[in-house]
Amino acid sequence: MPDLPLRSRVDQILLTLCIIQDGPGFVNRQNQQNQNTKFVHFVDRQNAKHLLLYYQKETIGRNKKMRINFDMDGTIANLYAVEGWLPMLRAEDTTPYKMAKPMVNFSTLARLLNKLQRKGYEIAVISWGSKVASAEYDKAVAETKKAWLAKHLPSVKWDAVTVVPYGTPKNLFCFSAGDVLFDDEAQNRNGWSGKAYDVGNILETLKAL
């Protein structure tokens, strides 16, 4: 695949691996709304790590475009303000992910993201599934998160939406020192090799990029 840009080549490799591993292992779905969006959902907690490491190895240090990544729960989606969210998640109910309210002004966020994309940034989501979850629930959560993004930020054409099992190191998706992460979890920010920000000033930080 010599003519494709690196990220596309990596995506091709990843997609191929996902197809090979599909069935009990991996599920990979292209986002129906936007053909440029890569929607990757790893359902196999044991094998996902190997695939993620492979993905990182193929991409790190060679990607030209800087990427701005967003966590969802507690960063742009107010999951923890949904009444009864924890017992519902424990009962493998996806309702709290649907009910979560946006945490910043999404008209402004969408406008800024579209502008940054025109400036050459990639825009992505890296989100964990629920802490205690069956493979089926992981899958349902990933689909719900994807639908939430489509509902609340319909004009944003995500370059990648990645939902990984709870606890997966997000730094696996940091491909250059300029890559940005917005995340409410200190451990994710501390483990990030690029630039990591808490959730207090998302819009202001984006305006300054």
What is the binding site for Mg ion (CB under 5 A)?
A: 71, 73-74, 184
Contacting residues for 32 by C-beta, under 8 A, at least 6 apart = none
Q: Is 200 within 8 Å of 86 (Cβ atoms)?
A: no
**C-beta closer to Mg ion: residue 71 or 122:** 71
**C-beta closer to Mg ion: residue 73 or 179:** 73
CB of 115 to Mg ion, least distance (A): 25
Q: In what order do the strands lie in the sheet with 195-197?
A: 27-30, 38-41, 160-164, 122-128, 67-70, 180-182, 195-197
**C-beta closer to Mg ion: residue 184 or 198:** 184
**C-beta closer to Mg ion: residue 115 or 131:** 131
CB of 76 to Mg ion, least distance (A): 9
Q: Which residue is nearest to Mg ion (CB)?
A: 74
DSSP codes, 115-132: HHHHTT-EEEEEEE--SS
CB of 75 to Mg ion, least distance (A): 5
